Amino acid sequence: MLALDSININQHDNTMNSTKIMKSLTKALYLGLAIANVILYGGTGNVWAGGIPLFPTGVDDAGNRLAGSSVDPHYVVVDLGGSPAVVLNDDILDQSTGWVKPSTGGKWINYVDSSVTFSGTRTFRTSFDLTGVNLAGVIVTGSWTCDNQGVIYLNGTFTGIANTESGFGSLHPFTITSGFQTGTNTLDFLVTMDGTFDGLLLSELGIPPSIAKGPATQTVGVGNTATFSVEADGSMPLTYQWYFNGGPINGATGATLAVSNALADAVGAYQVAVTNSVGSAMSTAANLWLDELKMYAGVGVYGPAGSNCVIQYTTDLSATPIQWTSITNIVVQNTPEVIIDYTSPGQAKRFYRVRPQP
């Protein structure tokens, strides 16, 4: 049985002068909901709208794996005049004894799609632009291997990262934290080959995301639209997920979030998580306020979960018969269920009741 089972009435009176009190109480309430959680991995100020173009081997601009024999759009062979690298076909991979062969991420490349190469060193290069990025915060992470030996250079300087001849049977993680420069940067992988079954694999490569400019707190009029946005650093592709008061917003997966027809239930804290293949970052919370704070009547419903009821109001208890207007029907999920009458501002008085339904 519902706690409000027949004509348990609450009175809503808008005639009292309490706007100042409600402003203070409402602001204090929603400040308590703000979330301030920051995870920073990289620099700030990136000019790339969709992220910094830095990719593992053998993938397209969206990070999808390329078919064997395809041209790799992100790697060139420096000592062959900058000709594009090639993704090795499945037949070569099947014959290559001892190679690690991940099912996701990057794929093996070489300067030619053949099991027969040459004896010597080939330099595979990928480039990325850090214009406008805070270099002090940039980190490049990845996992790689090669056949036979290999070393990594950043902007012509040896990073100290090397792979031994016996290392092509597993992936080797690495991190680069210095040596970056404003503008174009070059990352070179020098692979020493023995003439047969040679190649380079970067299963992962990227710059973890960081928030360059987070969403800003804003105030809008009741019923208007609030738009939040984020600018992020990090290697492509970047993905987004927006949160409201700590919970994910269904379908909110872009760099901007529009909150339309903003009412009291939209007031609170908004933040966004930015993710790519090598990490994620969470923005600080931005609050949404309404510049027309109004008094709304509310009804608290207590009862067993699954109970059906209707919420109604009248403006005159002395009428015969009393005329009740329904606001909404609900099924009790939690106790109490709080129902807000969004049409109540501006009304002199309303009396409410909750009635059980079959």
Helices (H), the chain: 19-31, 90-95
Cα separation, 311 vs 235, whole angstroms: 52
Phi (first) and psi of residue 168, to 5 degrees: -80, 0
**For residue 148, cis peptide bond before it (omega within 30 degrees of 0):** yes
Beta bridge partners, 226, equal 259
CB-CB contact of 90 with 68 (8 Å):
yes
Q: What topology is assigned to 28-46+209-290 in CATH?
A: Immunoglobulin-like (2.60.40)
Cα separation, 159 vs 162, whole angstroms: 8
CA 128 to chain centre: 22
Nearest to 222 by CA among 270, 291, 286: 291
How many CB atoms within 10 Å of residue 298? 15
Cα separation, 11 vs 165, whole angstroms: 82
Tell me the residue ranges of DSSP E strands in 34-183: 71-77, 83-87, 109-110, 116-129, 140-147, 149-154, 157-163, 172-176
Cα separation, 341 vs 299, whole angstroms: 8
**Sign of torsion, CA 92 68 208 126?**
positive
What's the pLDDT score for residue 269?
Answer: 96
Find the angle CA(81)-CA(86)-CA(91) to the nearest 5 degrees.
145
Cα separation, 224 vs 288, whole angstroms: 12
pLDDT in tens, the chain (358 residues): 333 333 333 444 443 333 332 332 222 222 222 222 222 223 333 334 457 889 999 999 988 999 999 999 999 999 999 999 999 998 988 888 889 999 999 999 999 998 888 899 999 999 999 988 888 888 999 999 999 899 999 999 999 999 986 678 899 999 999 999 999 999 999 999 998 889 999 999 999 998 989 999 999 988 899 999 999 988 888 999 999 999 999 999 999 999 999 998 999 999 999 998 889 999 999 999 988 767 788 898 988 889 999 999 999 999 999 999 999 999 998 888 888 888 888 888 899 999 998 8
Find the angle CA(275)-CA(280)-CA(284) to the nearest 5 degrees.
105
What's the pLDDT score for residue 243?
Answer: 97
Tell me which architecture the domain covering 71-206 has in CATH: Sandwich (2.60)
What's the pLDDT score for residue 55?
Answer: 93
Q: Does this model's pTM top 0.95? A: no
